[in-house]
Structure 1
Amino acid sequence: MREEDSDDVIPEDDDPRCPTIPFTSREKLGYRRKWRSALIVKVLEQSFPFPVISRRLEALWEKVGFLQISSLSYGYYVVRFTNQIDYEQASVGGPWLIGQHYITVRPWRRGFNPKLAEVVSTMVWAQLPELPVEFVNKEAVESIGARIGRPVLVDRATMIGDRGHYVLH
């Protein structure tokens, strides 16, 4: 059975008071197509009114195309992009913050249920204060970073030993 057909099965004990409405695989593919360039986002440890989230995401993600932001429940939002480059930049260009609060970003997936969703990871900058100068290089900082998470990026100033001691997880 193909993945897109895996939810075609209709339960046999369908409740007549609340019937299951079946869609064909073709219909579902068509409905889902516009969501392929969408991200599900959540601001950690803070809730903001929808207009604030919308304005902040628009400003945060400088873009070529347009964003369509919709509020889900439990503090989640879905953001659809009209431009693939914008989508990719928002997907991997973080970490993203609103104020001092990190934003989790994950690709949209069919059947996403905010009530059951868990935040299992997000990218964050890890600061390494008082790091001895001999360890201020890309290899050492990545090695340190690997012990606290999965390093994604070492900032430019740290790589060349200018200043700062940051690694992105």
Structure 2
Amino acid sequence: MNGVSSIKFSSRVHQLIEESMSKSIIVKLLGRRIGYSAFHNKLYALWKPSRHFRLMDLDNEYFLVRFQAIEDYTPVLAREPWVFFRKYLTVQPWRMGFDPSALLTEVMAWIRFSGLLGSLLKVIGELVGRIIKIDDNTKSESRGQFAWMAMCIDRKFILRINCIELSTSHC
């Protein structure tokens, strides 16, 4: 293609790749550079996995995390926002075609809007971005002061709020 050799893989090869990467996530610490060893140690202390995970550094300060157990993979994606060094850690499932050299335009983030009830929170949240999940306590309106929502939002927005108000319960 345009003088460059290319290889076309069968759908079976693509299926095998997806299966082998099924417990993998892409992470990036927004607003701060961190070394490989420090990042690995911090993630291990934060997530406390039952089995070791593999960490690979990618371009543009992204890291690939490959878990051995689904029991370790699922909670990392489902839990509250991950924050350390007062910076937000983006966590997203690995997907075929992920390009770490591409400019990050949208991230999944857990956002807290203080003092809002779940129904009002949803209306306001839809103005900010696409809602992925509303915390169960927020949805039931049983815990108004801890109103959390997972959303896909523009990267520029998350960088602006990064220093304003994020939970530090997982620091």
TM-score between the two structures when normalised by the length of structure 1: 0.71
Letter in 1 for 2:108: T
Q: Does 1:100 align with 2:86?
A: yes
SS at match of 1:110: coil
Partner of 1:47 in structure 2?
Answer: 33
Q: Is the 1:47–1:75 Cα contact (8 Å) retained in structure 2? A: yes
Shift in Å, 1:52: 1.3
Partner of 1:153 in structure 2?
Answer: 135
TM-score between the two structures when normalised by the length of structure 2: 0.71
Shift in Å, 1:21: 2.5
Flag structure 2 segments of 5+ consecutive residues without an equivalent: 126-130, 150-171
Hey, which bits of structure 1, 4+ residues long, moved more than 3 A? none
Shift in Å, 1:117: 4.6
SS at match of 1:148: helix
Letter in 1 for 2:67: F
Single out whichever of 60-69 and 113-122 deviates more from structure 2: 113-122
Q: Is the 1:39–1:108 Cα contact (8 Å) retained in structure 2? A: yes
Identity percentage of aligned residues? 24
Q: Is the 1:123–1:168 Cα contact (8 Å) retained in structure 2? A: no
Partner of 1:168 in structure 2?
Answer: 148
Q: Which of the two has higher C-alpha Rg?
A: 1
Partner of 1:144 in structure 2?
Answer: 120
* CA shift in 2, pair 1:20/1:160, >3 Å: closer
Distance 2:27 2:105 in 1: 10
* Structure with more of its chain in helix, by fraction: 2
Give RMSD over aligned pairs.
2.5
Pairs within 5 Å for 1:10-159: 13-15=1-3, 18-128=4-114, 131=115, 141-149=117-125, 150=131, 152-153=134-135
* Structure with more of its chain in strand, by fraction: 2
* CA shift in 2, pair 1:35/1:117, >3 Å: farther
Shift in Å, 1:51: 1.1
Shift in Å, 1:144: 3.2
Q: Which has the higher contact order (CA 8 A, sep 6+)?
A: 2
Matched residue pairs, number? 142
Shift in Å, 1:154: 6.1
Partner of 2:165 in structure 1?
Answer: none
Partner of 1:8 in structure 2?
Answer: none
**CA displacement, residues 29-67 of structure 1 (integer Å, 9 cap, x when unaligned):** 333422111001111111111111111111111112221
**CA displacement, residues 9-40 of structure 1 (integer Å, 9 cap, x when unaligned):** xxxx352xx31133333233333422111001
SS at match of 1:106: strand
